């Protein structure tokens, strides 16, 4: 696995394909493999796909201290090999938005999936705070609650409880959830100049679709699409989300 140095610790990433760069940023409790490994083959014919792990996920260690968007955005920016398209999912959408706003020379086109602007309502706050509390105290309930928030009922029924609650999340998951509660990118969004596509999910119980719509409304000139999916659309609707990304980044 390639690495790149950063003040917050060595950043590990995966790389596949040929052509201009496409950097894809994972979400809370995920990593480069679990979020994107199954999507990379559908994009690697168009782009050199780079999937970094930020602090606390994959092989990128958590340096301790405050976990901030500044740190994660810096780690992701360090993984760029050239100006590239940028995709961010969930917490990765906030990270990607920060990179696009503050490092515009790096970002050609931007795709934000299942993101949010800030802790805008009680529904979002209650969901994240409960998820955080369970992560700290009750791993079994944390896994079950996460599956119920992350996926649509049909997907949960088809996959089965055992499949969706197997394994453990990355060691940095709790701190990443706590960062979710502090995310506020409202001041950054008007500064984004890269052509942007926002993707929302109509049956998202973790980050309800209204938050994606608000994200779209706050980014000048952005495009918007919705998919019939729960939060982890990368697993529920991989073909559809891949096609949206391909079509958007391949525009001339």
CA atoms within 13 A on the CB side of 33: 8
- Share the mean pLDDT of the chain: 95
Reported as a single tens digit per residue, the pLDDT across 162-194 is: 888 877 778 899 999 999 999 999 999 999 999
Range of the domain at 13: 3-122+170-249
Does residue 155 sit within a domain?
no
Residue 150 within a domain: no
**CATH code of 27's domain:** 3.40.50.1820
- Taking the whole predicted model, whether its pTM rises above 0.85 is answered as yes
Using CA atoms, how far residue 23 sits from 39, 71, 158, 188, 221, in Å, is 13, 17, 31, 20, 22
Any domain includes 17 = yes
Tell me the C-alpha to C-alpha distance, in Å, between residue 215 and each of 90, 102, 190, 200, 251: 12, 17, 10, 9, 22
Which of 57, 84, 90, 229 is flagged as catalytic?
90
Residue 65: pLDDT over 80: yes
Range with the lowest mean pLDDT among 54-58, 146-150, 166-170?
A: 166-170
Specify if 139 maps to a domain: no
Residue 143 lies in a domain: no
Query: What pLDDT score does 75 carry?
Result: 97
The reply to whether 192 falls in a domain is: yes
Domain count, the chain: 1
In eight-state DSSP terms, residue 215 is H
Q: Which of the four pLDDT bands, split at 50, 70 and 90, describes residue 7?
A: confident
- pLDDT single digits (tens) 15-33: 999 999 999 999 999 999 9
Q: What is the pLDDT of residue 43?
A: 98
Position 117 scores a pLDDT of: 98
Whether residue 231 lies in the annotated active site? yes
Q: Which of 53, 62, 204, 229 is catalytic?
A: 204
What ranges in 22-121 are assigned the alpha helix state H? 32-36, 69-78, 91-102
Determine the Cα–Cα distance for residues 108 and 16; give it in Å rounded to an integer.
19
In a domain, residue 131? The reply is no
Report the alpha-carbon distance of residue 82 to residue 38 in Å, rounded. 24
Domain assignment of residue 176, yes or no = yes
Q: Which two tokens stand for residue 4?
A: 């790149």
What pLDDT, on a 0 to 100 scale, did the predictor assign at position 232?
Answer: 97
């Amino acid at each position: 696995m390639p690495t790149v140095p950063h003040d917050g610790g060595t950043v590990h990433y995966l790389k596949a394909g040929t052509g201009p760069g496409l950097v894809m940023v994972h979400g809370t409790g995920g990593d480069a493999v679990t979020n994107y490994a199954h999507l990379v083959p559908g994009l690697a014919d168009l782009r050199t796909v780079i999937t970094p792990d930020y602090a606390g996920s994959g092989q990128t260690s958590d340096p301790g201290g405050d976990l901030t968007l500044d740190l994660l955005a810096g780690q992701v920016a360090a993984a760029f090999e050239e100006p590239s398209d940028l995709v961010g999912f969930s917490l990765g959408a906030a990270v990607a938005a920060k990179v696009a706003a503050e490092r515009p020379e790096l970002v050609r086109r931007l795709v934000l999936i299942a993101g949010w602007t800030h802790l805008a309502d009680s529904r979002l706050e209650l969901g994240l705070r409960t998820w955080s509390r369970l992560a700290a105290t009750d791993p079994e309930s944390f896994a079950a609650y996460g599956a119920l928030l992350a996926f649509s009922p049909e997907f949960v029924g088809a996959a089965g409880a055992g499949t969706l609650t197997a394994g453990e999340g990355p060691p940095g998951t709790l701190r990443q959830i706590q960062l979710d509660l502090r995310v506020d990118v409202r001041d950054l969004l008007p500064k984004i100049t890269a052509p942007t596509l926002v993707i929302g999910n109509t049956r998202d119980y973790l980050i309800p679709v209204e938050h994606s719509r608000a994200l779209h409304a706050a980014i000048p000139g952005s495009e918007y699409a919705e998919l019939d999916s729960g939060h982890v659309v990368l697993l529920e609707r991989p073909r559809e989300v891949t096609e949206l990304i391909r079509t958007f980044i391949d525009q001339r």
